Structure 1
Amino acid sequence: MRQYLIPFVLFTIFLTGCAAKPEVSWDYNQQINWPLMTTWAWFQPGRDNDNRILSLMAQRVHWQVSQDLAAKGLQEVPAQQASLWLSWGFTEKSKLQGTSYNSGFYSSGFYYGPYPWMMTNWPSEVVVNSYEVGRLTLNVIDPANHHVIWQGIASQRLTSDMSPEEQREYITTSVNSLLEKFPPPVDYIPQGTPQ
C-alpha cells in the first residue's frame, strides 16, 4: 500500500502548489491602438486627492503595478498627460469546499484489493469547509471618455491571519498575473467574441 501512497502525496503537493497561483481573466477593447498607449497615471476621482490616505494594501498594489508597467516600457506621468488611467479594486467572497476522508483500511468489513481499482465500497465521510477568495480587479481607463478599455481580474484563495510578507507575496503574484498580457497582443481575441 505504501507504493501507492507516495504518488498520492506528490500529487497533493502538486495541487497545493497550483492552488497558490491566481485564476486570471482578461477583456479589452480591440478598437484601441495599444502600441500608442505608452504613458499612464492613477485615476483620481474628486478634487481632494492631496488628502488621500493610501492603505498598506493600496501602497503595495501601486508599487507593484508601477514596477511591472515600467518593466514593459510604460511611463508614469501626471494624470493630465497620460494616455491611460488605471484604477483597481478588491473584494472577498466566501466559498465552500467538500473534502472526503477514508475512515479506515479494514473498517465495517470492507475489502481492499492489492490495486487501487479493486477497492469496493470505500467508506468515507465528507467534511465541508468555507474559505475566502480575494478578487483583485485592475481597470485601464480612456482619459478622453472615462470608459474602461481593459480589465483584468485575479482570483486567489486567501489564508487567515496573513503576515505582511504573505500579503506582499499575494499582491505581487496577483499583479504579475494580471499584467502578464498587458498591453494585449495585437492578435488576441477574448473568448466568446464574435469573429
Structure 2
Amino acid sequence: MRLLFRITPVLLGLALAACSGIRVNTNYDPTAVERIEDFRRYAWLPQPQGKDARVYNDIIDVRVRMAVDQELKARGYQRVDMSEDPDFLVGWQGAIDTKVSVDTVDSFYGYPWGPYWSPWSSFYGPYGYPYGMGGPRTYVREYDVGTLILDGVDAREQRLVWRGTAQAELHRNLSPDALQKKINDAVHKLLSRFPPRPEAS
C-alpha cells in the first residue's frame, strides 16, 4: 500500500480533531441590554423535559447546573430561590445529533516513497504508474454532535432576553470527567458573552 494512502486517514483524523472545538453563538434582546446589565440575582427554571434520555436525566441536569452556578458565581452573580425575587431565570436545553462526514481526497499528487528511490527505479510502481498517482479516495465518518442551549429570562417581565448555543463533537463512550469538562468549557464560552456587549455602530 502506498504510504500516501496509509497516512491520509491519519491526516484527516487530525484535521477533523482540530476542527472539533466548541462553537458558540449568542443572541439577545437589544431593548433589554440595560436591564440585563443590572441583573445580579438568578434562580433556576424547572428541569427541562425531553425524549432523549442521554440528555434529559438527573445526572446531566446536575452537571449543567453545577457548571453554570460555578461560572455565574465567579462573575459575581448570586443564586437564590424562585421565591426570593430573582432578577433573571436560567434554563437549559440540549440535544445529541448523529452526523456523517464524507471527505474525498485526491491522491493523484504525491512523491515516490521507497528505501531505494532513484529517478528511474522506484519511481514506477508495480503496474508501471508513478507512485502517488491514483484516483480519489473517500472516507466516511459517523460522529455525535452535542448542543447545549442556555436561556436568560427576565424574571420581572417573564420574557426571554438572552440565549446562548454551544455545539461540540462528542466522542462516544465519553468518560464522566471528560463530559464534565466539555460542559464546563461550553458554559464558560457562552457566559463570557453575558451580559451582552453590543458592538459599536
**Could you say whether these structures have the same fold, taking a TM-score greater than 0.5 normalized by the shorter chain as the test?**
yes
Matches within 5 A, 1:173-184: 173-184=185-196
Unpaired stretches in structure 1, ≥5 consecutive residues = 3-8, 46-52, 113-118, 190-194
Letter in 1 for 2:77: L
Take 1:84 and 1:42, find their aligned partners in 2: how far apart are those partners? 9
Following superposition, the deviation at residue 146 of structure 1 comes to 2.4
RMSD: 3.3
Take 1:29 and 1:99, find their aligned partners in 2: how far apart are those partners? 39
Q: What is the TM-score normalised by the length of structure 2? A: 0.71
Letter in 1 for 2:28: Y
Following superposition, the deviation at residue 93 of structure 1 comes to 1.3
Tell me which of 98, 102, 111 is aligned to 1:98. 102
Tell me which of 57, 77, 88 is aligned to 1:84. 88
Take 2:180 and 2:134, find their aligned partners in 1: how far apart are those partners? 43
Q: What is the TM-score normalised by the length of structure 1? A: 0.73
Letter in 2 for 1:30: P
Q: How many residues are matched?
A: 170
Which residue in 2 is equivalent to 1:67? Answer: 70
Take 2:161 and 2:12, find their aligned partners in 1: how far apart are those partners? 40
Following superposition, the deviation at residue 125 of structure 1 comes to 1.5
Letter in 1 for 2:138: V
Q: Deviations over 1:143-193 (max 9, x none)?
A: 2332111000001011111111111111111111111111112x338xxxx
Following superposition, the deviation at residue 107 of structure 1 comes to 7.3
Which residue in 1 is equivalent to 2:52? Answer: none
% identical aligned pairs:
25
Which residue in 2 is equivalent to 1:25? Answer: 25
Which residue in 2 is equivalent to 1:5? Answer: none
Q: Name the SS for the 1:181 alignment partner.
A: coil
Letter in 2 for 1:166: A
Which residue in 1 is equivalent to 2:17? Answer: 16
Q: Is 1:111 the counterpart of 2:114 in the alignment?
A: no
Q: Name the SS for the 1:68 alignment partner.
A: helix
Q: Name the SS for the 1:162 alignment partner.
A: coil
